[in-house]
Structure 1
Amino acid sequence: MNWPATERLGLTPAPGGLALVQDLLNTAPADRPDSVDLLADGALDRAQGWADPAVRGWGAGTGRGDVRLTLSADDLPKLRCLRDQVRRALAAGDCGGEAVRFTSAPVVVGLAGDGTLTLEPEGAGARWLASAVLAEGLLAQASGTWRRLKICRNTACSAAFYDRSRNNSGVWHSVRGCGNAAHLRACRERRRGHAGAESGAEESGVTV
C-alpha cells in the first residue's frame, strides 16, 4: 500500500507525484466512526506509519528510488497546517482564497544531463514533506493535472480525489455515495418547502 490515506477511503491515487499531495490531504479524518486523523498530536507512530509508505511510493513513482523520512512530534501540527492550507486552496477553486507564502519549504532546482530541470525537496521532517508537496503541486499546475485534484463537495466527506471525467466536471468523490446523498437531501428539502407552502396557503385560504 503506497498511499495508505487515500486507499483507506477506497479511492484511486492521482497520477505520479501528485498522489503524495492527495495522500497528505486524505490524512484528515472523514465523518465516520472508524476514521481517525493520521497526523493527530500524540500519535507519532501512526503518523510515521503513514509517512513511510507514502514517501517510498513517491520515491518509486518519481524515479528517486528508496526515499526515507523521519517525523517528530513537532512536525505534526506543521503538517496539519500545510494540509489545511492546501485543502482550502483546492476547495476555493477558481473563486480564489487567501494567498500563502511558504518560506520554510526549500526546493532545489536541478539540471539533469539531458537538460531536464528537476525540483528536489530539501530539509527534514515537515519541511521536507512541505517542500515535496508544494513542488509536486507546481509540477501538476504546469502539466495541467492540478485542476483535477479536488475536494469532495460533501462536507461530511471532504475526501481529496482525482477527477478522471472527460470534461473535469466531477464534484463528488463518489457519485453513488456522496452524490446520491446530496441529491436525496435536496429532494427532501424541496418536499419540505413545498409542504410548507401548501400549509401556508391552506391557512390563508389560497389554493396552490
Structure 2
Amino acid sequence: MAWSASTRYEVDPAPHGLALVHDLLNTIPAGRPRAADLLDDLGDAQTWVDQALGCWAEETAQVAAQVHLAESDLEELRGLRAELRRLVASRNGDAPQGVELDVAPAVHVAAAALRMDREGRVVLEPRGQGWRYVAALVLLEVFQAQRADTWRRLKMCRNTRCTTAFYDRSRNNSGVWHSTKICGNLENLRAHRARQRVRTAGS
C-alpha cells in the first residue's frame, strides 16, 4: 500500500506516523499539469482516507478505525489541511502562493483518550467519527512529531508554482525544494535569467 497523495508528486513519505500528516498536505492540486485535489469530492476523499489510514496502520502497527465520510466532512478536512499548510509555511516566514500567513488560525478540536496497553504503556487514541477521527489522528501525529523534533523537517517546496510538501532529510535541515532536479533547477534558471536581464538593462 502506498501513500497516494505524496507518491504522485514523487516525494518520499515522512517517517512513521508523520507520513499521514505529510500525505494530507499533499492532497492539494499541485505540479504541472495540475493533479487533482483529492479532497474535492466525496468519492476521491473517501478513497484517499481509506488508503491513508491503511498505510498509517501498516506504518505504526496499529489498528485504524473505519471512517465513512459524509459530504459535510469535506469542508472540515480541507480546513484542517489549509491550517496545517499555513503552520508549515510560517516556519520559513514566506508562504508559497495561495498560503496566507496573516489570517487568524482556525480552531480544530479533536478528541483523544488515554489508555494503558498490554505492555503497561499509556497511549493516546483518537476518538470521533468521520472527519473528527481523521483530525484526531493527524493532530496526534503532529503532537508526537513536535515532541520528537521531526515536525520542523516537514516543509513546503519554495517553488511557488509547486508547493508540494516534503520531508527534509538533509543533515542540517536546509532543504527548500521538494526536488532539487525539478524545482531547484527551474528556480535557479529563472533567477539566473532575471540577473542577466538586469545586467543587460543596466549596460
> Normalising by structure 1, what TM-score?
0.87
Larger Rg: 1
Letter in 1 for 2:55: G
- Structure 2 match to 1:36: 36
1:20 aligned onto 2:20 = yes
Q: Is the 8 A contact 1:121 1:131 kept in 2?
A: yes
Tell me, yes or no, if structure 1 residue 86 matches structure 2 residue 84.
Answer: yes
Q: Which amino acid aligns with 1:157?
A: C
| Structure 1 residues 2 and 68, CA gap change in structure 2 (3 angstroms) | farther
2:139 is matched with which residue: 115, 134, 145? Answer: 134
Distance in 1, Cα, partners of 2:105 & 2:82: 13
Q: Secondary structure at the match of 1:165?
A: coil
* Aligned counterparts of 2:113 and 2:58: Cα–Cα separation in 1: 19
Query: Contact between 1:59 and 1:67, CA under 8 Å: does it hold in 2?
Result: no
Q: Percent identity?
A: 47
Q: Gapped runs of 5+ residues in structure 2?
A: 95-100
CA deviations over 1:52-105 (Å, ceiling 9, x no partner): 1101111222221354211111111111110010001001116495555323x1
1:107-135 deviation digits (Å, cap 9, x = unpaired): 22223344423221111111111111111
Q: Which is worse superposed, 114-123 or 160-169?
A: 114-123
Which residue in the other structure is 2:58 paired with?
60
2:128 counterpart residue number: 123
In structure 2, what is the equivalent of residue 106 of structure 1?
A: 111
SS at match of 1:109: strand
Matched, 1:179 2:188: no
How much is the aligned-residue C-alpha RMSD, in angstroms?
Answer: 1.8
User: Whole-Å Cα distance in 1 between the matches of residues 88 and 64 of structure 2?
Assistant: 29
Q: Distance in 1 between matches of 2:193 and 2:90?
A: 27
The aligned amino acid for 1:65 is V
Give the match for residue 164 of structure 2.
159
Structure 2: how far apart are the matches of 1:11 and 1:94?
20
CA distance in structure 2 between the partners assigned to 1:124 and 1:67 by the alignment:
9
What is the count of residue pairs matched by the alignment?
A: 195
Cα distance in 2 for residues equivalent to 1:28 and 1:112: 36
Q: Do 1:60 and 1:66's aligned partners in 2 also have CA atoms closer than 8 Å?
A: no
CA deviation string 1:21-75 (max 9, x = no partner) = 00000000004235110101xx211111111110111122222135421111111
Q: What's the secondary structure of 1:61's corresponding residue?
A: helix
1:56, 1:67 within 8 Å by CA — same for their partners in 2?
A: no
Residues 49, 67 of structure 2: 8 Å contact kept: yes
